[in-house]
Amino acid sequence: MNETLVGLTVPDFSLPGTGGVFRLGAHHGRAVVLYFYPKDATPGCSTEAAQFRDRHGAFAEAGCAVFGISRDGLKSHDSFRSKLGLPFHLLSDTDELACRLFNAIKLKKLYGKEVRGIERCTFLIDGNGVVRSEWRSVKADGHAEAVLSAIRAWQ
């Protein structure tokens, strides 16, 4: 079981992304949603990304930037982003820097075998870098709406 990160300040970190290098500290003063997902172009990850896409305007109105993170490389991210018409950027965590920082890696069963993979999880970080909400082991469908509802309640 993971310990909650709510209330903790996230150290500044950088990752390559589809919009260039992402640095958390560059978003000081603005809320950020980081959602971790297992793999580009898979059914659940496509559903989740499309739902964040469809609510992107509402996230922006709430003053919140959204970023997806997986271990896929930038070429895969560019293709996935283009295919779904995502208005937000995807971050590449091939070295698992952010995955370790947010405890997003876990052992999962895949076709009866244990494999290390990204746990579908999301973090709402306020403008001071403090984790305000987190969601663990989420279901892709409906998750973006739950995150948006939490942001509205928090504000």
Count Cβ atoms below 10 Å from residue 20 Cβ, excluding itself.
8
Bridge partners for 123 per DSSP: 34, 134
Handedness of CA 144, 148, 154, 155 (dihedral sign): positive
Residue 45 is among the residues annotated as catalytic for this protein: yes
Alpha carbon separation from 50 to 47, 81, 84, 115, 137 (Å, rounded)? 5, 10, 7, 26, 18
Catalytic option among 45, 64, 99, 121:
45
Q: Cα angle at 26 between 36 and 70, to 5 degrees?
A: 15
Residues annotated as catalytic are: 45
